[in-house]
Amino acid sequence: MVFRNPTEERQGFGCIFDMDGVLIDSYRAHFESWRMIAAEEGLPITEPQFARTFGRTSREIIAALWGEKTCDEAKIADLDRRKEAAFRDLIREDFPIMPGARELLDELRAHGFLLAIGSSGPPENVALTLERLGRQSLFSAVVTGMDVTRGKPDPQVFLLAAERLGLAPERCVVIEDAPAGIQAAHAAGAKAVGLASTGRTHQDLAAADLVVDHLHELSPALLRTLISPRLHG
């Protein structure tokens, strides 16, 4: 994939997609992979605990759930590696594509939107998702957890995605399923759409500029109006 990093910003609009909970309905696969690793290690995890941390990096989740029991960096790295490998095995077996994802991607590109991924996930997870989506060629930029040093709600991931698209963040909309992601999008200067996917409610995403239940509710015209109402109102 070729990343664009021009010296001058383009005109037009961009859409930056979070991956987990937006392009794939990965809540159950993530919870199951955490449950498997926790059982192997004799560590506690409940679904409410997981739900509170969903959308953060694996290392952040390990620190939040088991910080006192996993102080060793080598152990944290081992848990992280095993958990993400288990997750990929699960979604290879049953790929949980979000309804309407392919259709929305196709429609946005057909109407001139530049597309990016802005995910906290490891590059292996993002690569597998893009492969299974079959839409790699539609994305002009991909940012993963390996590309950033600060996780959401810090805006770094979305600022970098906009930069790689060659667009000002103000000309971008972010589609997210997590409150931290909504906060990160706004901190970057972008508009934010909250997708109330598995484990999320409209109340959780109330800070977004628009909250929807399904990707089918979104269109290029709606997102253009959200980004620049004065041009499209």
Residues known to be catalytic: 18
Residues ≥6 apart with Cβ < 8 Å to 231: 224
Among positive and negative, which fits the CA dihedral 157, 159, 163, 167?
positive
Q: What are the φ and ψ backbone dihedral angles of 212, each rounded to 5 degrees? A: -130, 160
Pairwise CA distance, residues 86 & 93, whole Å: 11
d(CA 98, CA 95): 9
How far apart, in Å, are the Cα atoms of 58 and each of 65, 75, 86, 105, 146? 10, 13, 12, 27, 12
Q: Let me know: does 153 contact 17? Beta carbons within 8 Å.
A: no
Whether 195 and 186 have beta carbons less than 8 Å apart is answered as: no
Q: Which two tokens stand for residue 198?
A: 């598995």
CB 1 within 8 A of CB 173: no
Phi, psi of 113 (to 5 degrees): -70, 140
